[in-house]
Amino acid sequence: MGLLEGKTVLITGASRGIGKAIALKFASEGANIALTNIAEDVEFCEVCDECEKLGAKVKRYVSNVADFDDSHRVVDEVVNDFGSVDILVNNAGITKDTLLMRMTEEQWDKVLEINLKGVFNLTKAVLKPMMKQRKGSIINMSSVVGVSGNAGQSNYSASKAGMIGFTKSVAKEVGSRNIRCNAIAPGFIITEMTDTLPEDVKKDWIAKIPLRRGGTPEDVANTSLFLASDMSDYISGQVLQVCGGMLT
């Protein structure tokens, strides 16, 4: 029996990278998988197919996390389709990196809208069914730059720092209902996004990491599994840094 046997997990932004790795890990541990993505693209369909091959019950939902009403619609559909929503992984996020001097209002607004408002929308939507169940685990995908900041990422860093404050506040609000809320702060994770970086930039990042390697999406997925499962039943309001010791 898997660690998530019979539980239903809702994962946003699950078509690639960290979201995909979490979906596959949770499917292999017996969870029912509900996935969202902004579009019905090939990668999104492939992730669902891979989860099904692992024996999971899977359903995909096209949704914009930045849309309040649409987020509530998706949660209602997940509860109707699966009977419950036991775990929420707020993973959807975007970057629009540039120095603040060059950053447009649209670049600021779009990143905050997806990365932070999206977390508010989905978390608010799942609280009602989780409170009724008197149990749940919410996992918010933050970043080490939300802790340390990073030049050229003031919008992204602000969204991820806001997510940390949100996580700690929600944990205090709903803990009495046996609902846990935690954040993960990945460091330099090797994904399609980081593959586009120049080699000298990647080498510079890795040189700053005590473990001397970039992380993998599976490293983050394993941490997500811990926070989603009953192994972390007494952990809430925390930020787990998956960064190879880059931040201490």
The alpha carbon of residue 14 and the mean position of all alpha carbons in its chain are separated, in whole angstroms, by: 9
DSSP lists the bridge partners of residue 243 as: none
Question: From the candidates 156, 186, 225, 236, which is the catalytic residue?
Answer: 156
State how far the alpha carbon of 38 is from the alpha carbons of 12, 14, 47, 66, in Å.
9, 10, 14, 10
Packing angle between helix 68-82 and helix 118-133, nearest 10 degrees? 30
Query: Residues near 178 by Cβ (< 8 Å), separated by ≥ 6?
Result: 134, 135, 136
Is 234 annotated as catalytic?
Answer: no
The set of catalytic residues is 156
